[in-house]
Each structure stands twice: as structure tokens, then as C-alpha cells.
Chains A and B, each alone.
Chain A
């Protein structure tokens, strides 16, 4: 056996490998991305691994593997589950053969997401089980259980860690070698694998009947636990359990009920755990899922029980819980007065804000700046998308008017165009997002005769989530060098008449490209092509000479973190500068040079 210190996502990966997983697919998204990366770095045999172009595709690839008897896992962040919602909902009716575990990592806070949606709701919506680990150690064990339950009940199962479990590190002990299980292969049976209304009708009834059995099964599940005693109880799940447990080290006169399987709700277990309890606090993140289920139990069994939680204002509706909020909320529930162990920092001086910014030398900054220069005061719509380049919204660039969801920049630019024929409509999309969900939007634009300028910010990687490869990079997760899918050829194929590929770090050429496209009717595209600074060597360092008149135009116009003021002078922070040279093209007196290829 081998002891490994891994991130929660690594623990999920090793758990899946321990369960003999045969196929893992997914799309990167914080906080889920390291699951597939860990599998790729861990020596194994007979496991097929891929970054799919999006979550829907990943789910469907895994569906076929599971129908063939292979153990399969799909990974994504919570909003990815919306993209994969279509195959998931139908698969819930059809069922599976080989265990299929769908990992959807929730992000309370939200820390790196657009929504605070709750995957447990997806489970009850799709009528399939969900597992909710409270630590990396538990995630390692639980994901193996998830495969067992999936096969036992022939259903896909959801597995939903949250950010703090995904990104926490702990030790797990694993086998030395991993190999995928033997796979039986697909057995044709159109009465089973082809979804038709009649099949859905029959299976819907079976699912509901089965869920009652699963709830009973879960009532004896090893990670549903009740600790302590007393007439007050805290019911919790996931990372909130860890926070509650941390606080309750100091208090023993309370029950701590943890649900590792929130759906189907393990009714008998919860009823037994609440026996003799008069007041319960539901301490959970995102939505009041456990709380509503307990309220339902009270109605169903006429229990004399007071429930506190999100619905009575005891627990906030939004944001994440923490060890500190646990102390405050559970402390208030117990009427405890705990002595402060820390330093009083209520008189803290004002701290500098540090909003995330585009890195020094990021080619996206140059692309945005070129469009901004070319358009000047002309009426324009700047539709953004999901990726590092969402950060183009920050001042001084201020070049993102909208951001909704993956791929929406391209389609929203069309909506603005159809409502307002005057303004120029721009869509900014990254290369990975273009492959994930941009292409259909471009087809729509051509078909429906939109006037728009598509700006593909092609930095040859999926940067925001940690530089995963995609179809345009020529590498895949099986370690193969593959044919690069050309964005330019895709656009040509869709029928765009004007496609310009330009290096965004060449400001004049980029501004000219924008002006040329704006002057033409229809759908035009500019591919701003320059690699992410994190995957290339710096070109050198820029230098500011004594011609500098201190006008600070460079700082005001592009907001590069490497341009700083030191003792009243504009200075290059050499630890950050990559020598991209954008500032030198902005300086009105030619005081910035360099990038001497050290």
C-alpha cells in the first residue's frame, strides 16, 4: 500500500482508480479540474481518459462506456452540469450498466463561479442518488461506494464535493498499481437503451419505487453518522460538517448528524437520530436542502421539533460557511459564550484591494486594447465570455459589457445587433470556450444574418482552469500528439467571408484588423493569436529610459501589473514583466524599449 498526500480532487481520482474505473471524461472548471489531471499523472492501465469539448459531450461519451459495462466517471463544475443536464436527465430514466459517477463540484461563495447552485437539487430533480463528502479522506472512500451503488441500482449517481473539499489536502492510502476492470461490452437491447415515451413512463414509476429502497439502504450507510447526545441537534453535510465538528470539540451536549447521502433522503436514519431532540439547526451551504427535508419529516410524522437554518435567518442564504461562521451560528444556537482566542483586529487600517487582474504580458490585454483603440467613441457592444478574459472588464480596459455563461458572448452579440442596428457588436471568446460552446453560435449568426465581429482570443490553452489542452492544441489526455483542429478552418467552413489572424502584441496591425472588419457587413472574425504567458518563455524585460516624461499614459491605458510607480516614477517591475512590448507601443515619447531576449 502507498500513502499519498493529495488534494481532495486527487483523492477522488485515486478513489475512482481504486474502484477500477475504465473511462474518465470531463471539461475543466474550478474547483473540479485536478481530478482528471491527477488520473493522468498516476500510472495506470486500461483507463481511457479525455478532456471532452464540453460537459454534455463528456457525459455522453461516459454513457456509452457505462452501457458497455465499463465503470465511468464524468467530472465538471456545478454549472457544467447545466450543460450536461440533457443527457443526465434522460440517462436517469434509461439507467446504466457499469457504474457511472457524475462528479459535479459545487462552489459556495461563489469563489470562482457564476452561480451558487446546489447539485443536491439536481439529484432530487433527476431522481438519482447523490454523495456529499465532508473531507478528502471521505471522498476517497465514498467515490468507491458511489460506483457500487450505481451498479447495485443501475442508475447514474451524482458525487458533489465543494471547493473546500476539492482544494483541501490530506493523506490517503492506496494500492500500488491501478488497472481498469474487465469490460463485458455492449449488449444490444433496444427495449432498454433507446429512450421512447413508453420506456420513460415505465421507468419513471420504477425510479420512484427504487428511490424508497435506496433511502432505506442509505439509512444504514457508513458515512451517515450521528455523534453526541442531547435535546439539541445540528444536522449538516459536506464541508459544513467539518466546520461544525471543529467547533463542537468544545461542546458535548449536542448531537451532530451528518448526511453523506442527502438524496434519496435517508428518512429512517434521520428520524432515529432526531429521537428525543426538540430543536435542530440545519447548518449547510447553498440551498436549504436538508432543512426542507427535515420540515417535510415534521409534517409527515407530526414531530414536535423546531427547525433553525436558512429559512428562519439563522444561517445566511448566500456565501460559504467557515469554521468561524460555525462557531458563531452554532454557538448562538447552543447559547454558548466562547472566549475569544485571537487578537482584536477591529481597528485594522484600510487594506489595499486586490481584485484579480490579467497577468503582466497577457495577450488578452493587447487584444482588448486594440479593439478599444479602433472603436474610440463609436457605439459598441462588448460581449464577454467565461475565461481569464472576463477580467478584461476591469479598469482601465473596461471592455466587457456582458458575461453570462459559456459561449453566450457570441449569441448575445447577435441579440444586441437585432435590437440595435447602429452599434457594432463584438463577441470575445477564448479558444477553449470557442470549442466548448462557441461554434453553434457562429452558425446561428451566419444563418440569421447578424452583423457582428467575433474576436477569438486564442492563447493556445485553457488558461483560467490551469492550462488544460483542447482540440486546438494538438495534444490530448492519452498523451497523443493529434491533428490540431483549426479555428480558422471551422470559421471558413461555416461560411465567414472575412477572417483575419493577427498577433495582438502588434498593436498597429491589430487596430487595422478591427477597423477592416467593422467596415464590412455580416459576420467577421479576428483571431488574436498569441500564447498564454504561463506556457511560454518571457521575451525579456522592458526598460524605461530618461526620455520618460512621467505622463503615466502607459499605466492609465492598459493597467499592466508590471507598470508601477516607485518614488513618483513609472517603473517596470522586472519580476513580472514578460517583455510583451505593448507599453512601448503606447508611450508617446518612445521612452520604453527593451525585451532584449536575455
Chain B
């Protein structure tokens, strides 16, 4: 199997855990996995990406443009910024809630993410998720990463099994948050399953 999954967002949104869960689950299923993370200065509120490459044919740690099967975006503008990575026929999972940069508060341009979502819908298959709404019942946006992972799984494009992902959640998340993360994953999965293309 060869699968490229790109996860993008803004520093601090928890993209790294999502990529680690996919990578570990794919490895547990016997695949060769490579991944790459944004580390350093950009983590301070800058755009961040995690590239996960499953399969023996991946040499570059970063996914080449036009190669990603799935793009999981934690923020609408970041989805657009990274859309070039998606291959024709790929799917975008996008949180519709914008993260406004500080520059936006200083000189308002009215960025609210809506233009971005409209653009995405015009360009490719996408599942738009109201992340805040989805996470409301879990009491924290910290579950957004696992919820979006659930959505991606639900679309059937992730290439790893639910069982493997849940196992990795158990292994990697602090004990008191395991059940909430599992519920977030399942709630996301249901949204993903509802997606038809």
C-alpha cells in the first residue's frame, strides 16, 4: 500500500499527535512509514505541517506536490495553503473555524475562513467540519486532532484500521483522556462516514 497523508494547521493545534497516531497505526499493520514535522521557530503561531508517507516507495520525507491522498486541515486558510499537495481525486478534511493571526487583529482584513471554504469546495472533494461544535461535548478544542482523524478515517481514505488507531490512542494518550479521545474519534468517524462522493 502507498498512502500520503498531509496534516496542516497552526502551531499549537495538536497536529503532531494526529500524525504520530497514523504513523504508529500504519506501522503496527506492517507498513513502512516515514513522516516529517515542522519544528522550531514556526511553531510559535506559524503554519505547521506533518507529512505521513506509508509504503516502500517513499524517498522524500516531504510529500511531493500533487501526491497526497488525504489532506487533514485544522484551519481553513492552512487547507488552501497546502492544497497543492493534494492529488486529483484526493479528499480534504477541513475544520471551518479560523485561527486569526495577530496581524489580523492589528489591521483587519476581515479574514473569517469563509472564502477559503468556498474555494476548497470549488476545487476538490471536501468534508467541512465545525471543529468547535464537534468538540463542544468534550469540553475542549484539544480533542480536535483526534476528531478530525476520525473524520478522515470515516471517509475510507486513511488506509489504516480503526482498531489500530484506537490501540495507538490507548498507548499514547494520558490515561484520563483515553476514553474522551476515543469518543472524539468515533464522533468524527460518523461525520466522515456520512460523506459521499
Contact = CB atoms under 8 A, between A and B. Distances in A.
Interface of A: 5, 7, 30-31, 111-112, 135, 164-165, 167-171, 239, 242-243, 245-247, 249, 322-324, 326-327, 340-343, 345, 348-349, 351-359, 388, 391, 394-396, 464, 555-556, 559-561, 563-565, 575-576
Nearest to B13: A575
Interface stretch (B28-36, B149-157, B187-195): B28-36
Nearest to A7: B37
Contacts of B27: 5, 171
A343 B123 contact: yes
B45 A341 contact: no
Contact of A561 (B35, B45, B58, B62): B45
B106 A342 contact: no
Contact of B106 (A31, A345, A555): A555
B60 A355 contact: no
17 contacts: A111-B40, A168-B35, A168-B36, A171-B32, A239-B61, A249-B59, A327-B64, A343-B86, A351-B80, A352-B77, A352-B104, A354-B10, A358-B44, A359-B44, A559-B106, A560-B102, A576-B12
Nearest to A570: B105
Nearest to B34: A170
A239 B61 CA distance: 9
A250 to B, nearest CB: 11
B36 A564 contact: no
B23 interface: yes
A556 B107 CA distance: 9
Contact of B108 (A243, A341, A356, A565): A565
A345 B33 contact: no
A135 B33 CA distance: 13
Contacts, number: 165
Given A355-B46, A396-B106, A564-B100, A342 B39 contact: no
* Residue of B35, B37, B59, B64 with most chain A CB atoms under a 10 A cut-off: B59
B197 interface: no
Given A246-B59, A345-B123, A564-B100, A555 B36 contact: no
Given A30-B40, A111-B40, A342-B87, A353 B101 contact: yes
Contacts of A394: 102
B81 interface: yes
Given A242-B59, A356-B42, A356-B46, A342 B65 contact: yes
A200 to B, nearest CB: 39
Nearest to B98: A352
A342 B66 contact: yes
Interface stretch (B109-117, B158-166, B178-186): B109-117
Contact of B109 (A352, A357, A560, A563): A352
B35 A349 contact: no
Nearest to A340: B66
Contacts of B35: 168-169
Contacts of A164: 36, 61-62
B109 to A, nearest CB: 7
A243 B58 CA distance: 10
A359 B37 contact: no
A342 B67 contact: yes
A514 to B, nearest CB: 25
B39 A357 contact: no
A575 B123 CA distance: 31
A348 B65 contact: no
- The 10 A-B residue pairs with the shortest CB-CB distance in the complex, in nearest-first order: A342-B66, A168-B61, A341-B66, A323-B64, A112-B40, A323-B60, A30-B40, A356-B44, A246-B60, A245-B59
Contacts of A243: 59-60
B36 A169 contact: yes
Contacts of B81: 351
Chain B CB within 10 A, most for which of A247, A357, A396, A556: A357
A322 B85 CA distance: 12
Contacts of B66: 340-343
A143 B106 CA distance: 48
B80 A348 contact: yes
B102 A343 contact: no
Q: Of A342, A357, A576, which is in contact with the most chain B CB atoms at under 10 Å from its CB?
A: A342
B174 to A, nearest CB: 16
Contacts of B108: 565
A169 B23 contact: yes
Contacts of B88: 341-343
Contacts of A326: 60
A289 B61 CA distance: 23
A353 B83 CA distance: 16
A326 B67 CA distance: 14
B137 interface: no
B46 A354 contact: yes
Interface string B36-77: 111111111111000000000111111111110000000001
Contacts of B42: 111-112, 356
B141 interface: yes
B148 interface: no
B134 interface: no
A206 B88 CA distance: 59
A156 to B, nearest CB: 27
B124 interface: yes
B94 to A, nearest CB: 14
Contacts of A391: 44
B178 to A, nearest CB: 21
A242 to B, nearest CB: 5
A123 to B, nearest CB: 24
Nearest to A465: B40
Contact of A171 (B33, B41, B57, B100): B33
A345 B84 contact: yes
A138 B98 CA distance: 40
Contacts of B124: 343
B57 to A, nearest CB: 7
B105 A565 contact: yes
B177 interface: no
A31 B39 contact: yes
Contacts of A342: 65-67, 84-88
Contacts of B104: 352, 564-565
B40 A322 contact: no
B41 A356 contact: yes
Nearest to A342: B66
A357 B44 contact: yes
